[in-house]
Structure 1
Amino acid sequence: MPFSSCAAVARGKGSKPPAAGGGFPAIGALLLLDARLGAGRAAQFLTPEGLWQGWIDGPPSKSHGAPGHYREFIGQLCGFVDEGARHCVARR
């Protein structure tokens, strides 16, 4: 999968804190980029006292799964975008 598709999914809307649902795709994108690049940057957010746990525990209440689930979901979205991009290029 091209890096550019993953980066586009990961960018989001500016630098303001995510809305109630925004943390899920954000951690998924960060975990996916970590896996692809071998960066290991997500670990600091996933500690018991890290930002992920604080976001999950904070208002409003959220139902959530494991962070790895969101990584898989973002990976599927990137795959969908890549497949669509291949079809667009093929039409030219």
Structure 2
Amino acid sequence: MSLDAKKVARIARLARIGLSDDEVQTYQKDMEGIIDWVEQLNEVDITDVPPMVGTGLATARLRDDVVTDGERRDDVLSNAPEREGPFFTVPKVVE
């Protein structure tokens, strides 16, 4: 497949990229090379190749959803700048 300068300029406009005429010529050659490479991939025979794990074949690794307090109250409270007993002490915001 070949791209002409008009198609490259249109692609650049759709991508909101401003290109000069010299840049259009450069990108035209680069994009043609990419398209040729993709066309080479289409020629590969993949009839006996099994699919890799995809969204349809993968299963989520789930664990039981158990609510706990973490049993680490003292460790958490040790980070508090101020505390009173088993509670955080915060400044009063509402009178």
Query: Fold match, TM over 0.5?
Result: no
Q: Which protein shows a greater Rg? A: 2
Which structure exhibits the higher relative contact order, with contacts defined as CA atoms closer than 8 Å and separated by 6 or more residues?
Answer: 1
Tell me the TM-score normalized by structure 1.
0.33
Q: TM-score, structure 2 length as denominator?
A: 0.32
Q: Which of the pair is proportionally richer in strand? A: 2
Structure whose residues are more often helix by fraction: 1
